[in-house]
């Protein structure tokens, strides 16, 4: 079966009735730890944004442009009441309103910059992009209790990709590639991964891919983090949610637990993958990994973090090379195989959500 994809940078398949991105969504803007004592600049969905934490500890997001002479506000400094431009010292609060113009007693009414709705939950900073940029969000940002339940230790980081965001979706929704790309960490026998029991379901705008592999050799990351006795039963649950993907993977000693039991034991890795477009041809990948060590929690987390980052570096090389080759060969149809079901369903959903609402 062939699949025709919209490949940004190859040909423009959009029309006046299509947005480059799905809107009316909360997107991942940053990890809470990234918003510290300095402004954080990041382009999100083609919008140059500056994020900062005010004196009360609240995170805000503004258009990264001073309304006076257009210096990026991210080149300024954070103060108790907001962010001060590094050119002429105009001070803006989290709503984008200018509070002070040094050297004059009045502030012009037009001295303001656009602000964006932001919510911080469970160690993640979310930003709202709507079809109507003046309208309030239609609900709260997603929660992610894995970070706050106390059952796991976790950490994270951010990557930048010179490739469209949906190629990252494709990669995450198809974990059969582990046996070929990630042999040194979370991989294993390639044939086992390609022949895993797989069930894919769709619920509204969500796609769930569940994969099981029984009686297999644990990969290096697993044996480095958990005292398995020998062969294991592995699971991979990929939960696609438009603006982010949640992946729960792990293993138990073979034959000791039911992989369908939500309370199963063994070694767990819960990955949070905030895939946020920067532009049509580049993306931010803001991720965390949570795990449940038997002992030496901090040491084990460092190992899991390092090996997770290494796997993402491997994926980044593959995806960026893939995209460059797509540009080189032009907008040619791509064929699908059995492991592409989840990715194809996600693409269908994203295409539907790109339709502009009138």
Residue-wise pLDDT for 99-149, tens only, equals 999 999 999 999 999 999 999 999 999 999 999 888 899 999 999 999 999
What is the residue whose two structure tokens read 């984008």? 96
What six digits make up the tokens of 225?
Answer: 């983090």
Note whether 180 and 108 are same-domain residues: no
CATH number at residue 171: 3.90.380.10
- In terms of domains, do 190 and 321 share one? yes
Give me the mean pLDDT over the 252-280 stretch.
96
- Write down the pLDDT at residue 5: 61
Query: Could you tell me if 175 and 118 lie in one domain?
Result: no
Give residue 81's domain range.
16-129
* 5 inside domain: no
User: Is the domain of 193 the same as that of 283?
Assistant: yes
pLDDT tens for each residue of 69-106: 999 999 999 999 999 999 999 999 999 999 999 999 99
Domain boundary (98, 129, 160) is at: 129
Residue whose pair of structure tokens reads 């160690």 in the numeric block = 123
Percent with pLDDT over 90 in the chain: 77
Looking at the fold, whether 170 and 298 belong to one and the same domain comes out as yes
The count of domains in the chain is 2
Does any domain span residue 241? yes
pTM: 0.92
CA 275 to chain centre: 3
- Which of 299, 237, 301 is CA-nearest to residue 273? 237
Tell me the C-alpha distance between 81 and 332, whole Å: 53
Strand 83-84 versus strand 124-129 pairing type: unpaired
Query: Is 192 in the same domain as 261?
Result: yes
High-pLDDT (> 70) share of the chain, %: 94
| 156, 288 contact by CB (below 8 A) | yes
Task: Answer yes or no: is 213 within a domain.
Answer: yes
pLDDT for residue 301: 92
Residues 174, 236 share a domain: yes
On the question of pLDDT at 27 being above 80, the answer is: yes
Specify whether the CB–CB gap between 185 and 221 falls below 8 A: yes
In a domain, 239, yes or no: yes
Q: Using CA of residue 331, residue 337, residue 343, residue 348, what is the dihedral sign? A: positive
Kindly state whether residues 167 and 278 are assigned to the same domain: yes
167 and 106 part of one domain: no
Q: Are residues 154 and 118 in the same domain?
A: no
């Amino acid at each position: 079966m062939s699949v025709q994809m919209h490949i940004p940078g190859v040909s423009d398949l959009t029309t006046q009735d299509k947005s480059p991105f799905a809107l009316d969504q909360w997107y991942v803007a940053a990890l809470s730890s990234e918003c510290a004592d300095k402004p954080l600049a990041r382009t999100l969905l083609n919008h140059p944004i500056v994020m900062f934490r005010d004196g009360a500890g609240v995170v805000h997001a503004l258009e990264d442009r001073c309304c006076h002479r257009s210096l990026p506000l991210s080149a300024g400094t954070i103060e108790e009441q907001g962010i001060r431009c590094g050119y002429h010292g105009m001070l803006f609060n989290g709503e984008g309103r200018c509070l002070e113009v040094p050297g004059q007693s009045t502030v012009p009414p037009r001295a303001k910059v656009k602000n964006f709705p932001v919510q911080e939950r469970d160690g993640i900073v979310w930003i709202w992009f709507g079809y109507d940029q003046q309208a309030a969000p239609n609900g709260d940002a997603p929660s992610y209790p894995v970070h706050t339940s106390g059952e796991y230790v976790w950490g994270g980081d951010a990557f930048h990709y010179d490739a469209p965001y949906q190629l990252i979706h494709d990669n995450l929704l198809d974990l059969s590639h582990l046996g070929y790309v990630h042999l040194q960490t979370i991989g294993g026998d390639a044939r086992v991964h390609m022949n895993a029991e797989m069930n894919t379901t769709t619920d509204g705008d969500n796609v769930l891919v569940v994969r099981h592999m029984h009686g297999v050799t644990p990969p290096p990351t697993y044996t480095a983090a958990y005292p398995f006795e020998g062969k294991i039963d592995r699971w991979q649950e990929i939960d696609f949610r438009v603006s982010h993907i949640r992946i729960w993977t792990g293993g138990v000693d073979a034959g000791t637990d039911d992989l369908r039991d939500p309370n199963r034991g063994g070694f767990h890795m819960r990955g949070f993958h905030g895939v946020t477009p920067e532009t049509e041809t580049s993306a931010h990948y803001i991720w965390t990994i949570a795990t449940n060590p038997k002992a030496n929690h901090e040491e084990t987390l460092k190992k899991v973090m390092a090996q997770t980052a290494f796997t993402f570096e491997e994926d980044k090389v593959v995806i960026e090379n893939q995209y460059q080759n797509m540009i080189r060969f032009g907008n040619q149809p791509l064929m699908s195989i059995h492991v592409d079901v989840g990715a194809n369903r996600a693409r269908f959903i994203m295409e539907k959500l790109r339709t502009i609402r009138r």
